[in-house]
Amino acid sequence: MALYEHVFLARQDISGQQVDSLVQDFKKLIEDGGGSIGKTEYWGLKTIAYRIKKNRKAHYTLMNIDAPHEAVAEMERQMRLNSDVLRFMTIRVDELEEEPSAQMRRSDRDDRDGRRGDRRGPPRDRDRDRDRDSESRSSEKAETKTEKEEKAE
């Protein structure tokens, strides 16, 4: 059987329980077709890059599938008919990852002890920077004046 990674986006209006219900329905379709779903990951409600069917956010879900092509094609057909599914993508892979996906590892990283890699924090003191810059400019001017005076002598 072929191995697939499948990600789908569900409408923002539905709850997390309804997303789980969708996953169970699709899992049943795959199992009826002679396949199995190894891992499912719910990535949460995330903002999408552009509006899709009047939705600005979507529930993201990943499924690792080990099934024949016909079962996956039937699942995709059902997704096209389901109004709760905004988009989906199925990719055939050589092997399935058993460890958490990069998206899940990223969310785990956000829970660290308050350390933040982004540059948020108190705003820098712009007046201090401005004073420092003006001091360096005035010292440069003073140096050029003394050089001119030395050349004149």
CB-neighbour burial class of residue 84 (10 A; exposed 0-12, middle 13-18, buried 19+): middle
pLDDT at position 150 is 67
**Cα 61 to Cα 103: distance, rounded to the nearest angstrom:** 11
Average pLDDT over residues 97-110: 69
CB of 35 closer than 8 Å to CB of 126:
no
pLDDT tops 70 at residue 147: no
Domains and CATH numbers, the chain: 2-109 (3.30.70.60)
Q: Which amino acid is at 93?
A: V
Which single residue is written with the structure tokens 């990069």? 102
Q: Which amino acid is at 103?
A: Q
pLDDT tops 80 at residue 85: yes
Q: Which amino acid is at 75?
A: M
Q: What is the pLDDT of residues 129-142, one digit of tens each?
A: 666 666 666 666 66
SS3 state of residue 120: coil
pLDDT at position 141 is 65
Instruction: Give backbone dihedrals phi and psi of 117, rounded to 5 degrees, phi first.
Output: -80, -20
pTM to 2 decimals? 0.65
**Cα 29 to Cα 7: distance, rounded to the nearest angstrom:** 16
SS3 state of residue 73: helix
